[in-house]
Homo-oligomer: A and B are copies of this chain.
Amino acid sequence: MTEHSLWRFSRALQRALNDHQFDDLANMIDDEVEWAIYGPIDMFPFLGARKGKAAALEVCRQLADNVSVRRYDREAIMLGVDSASSMLRYSFTALDSHKPISLRLAEFLQFKNGKLTSLRVLLDTFDLVEQALGQPIKLPKIA
């Protein structure tokens, strides 16, 4: 039984983000990957949609320049033959301010021949923005 691509991808991503070693990750990303991390791109230019391996790796380099991963916990996971989805709670450290950032996200991944062909990530973006600003945004109650 072969190890699921999700585990190899997760290790390679962790190694890229925390050790700035991108070779394993590059080997796991399909040349034509469809990549999207949905969120406010004005504040976080590394969010948004990308097409192709070079663009996806550049996003990971920017992430690695901005945060390190302290830990993550998988709160839900589903594995298919060539696909995976997961809800995770990540604890990052912002490298410039050394501030902790705690973030829930959902990822939907597709693989083909052991390479990532599609990544879609949804973030709890309001929570992220407030933590990055370092202060709450005042909201009206609407319901």
Q: Which residues of A contact B (CB under 8 A)?
A: 38-40, 42-46, 62, 65-66, 75-76, 78, 80, 83-85, 87, 104-106, 108, 120, 122-129, 132-133, 137, 139-143
Contacts and interface: CB of A to CB of B under 8 A. Distances in A.
What secondary structure prevails in chain A residues at the interface with B? mixed
A15 B75 CA distance: 29
Given A76-B85, A78-B85, A122 B143 contact: no
B129 A106 contact: no
Contacts of A83: 78
A39 to B, nearest CB: 7
A127 B129 CA distance: 11
Contacts of A128: 126
7 contacts: A42-B139, A42-B141, A43-B140, A43-B142, A76-B108, A78-B80, A78-B85
Given A143-B45, A143-B62, A39 B78 contact: no
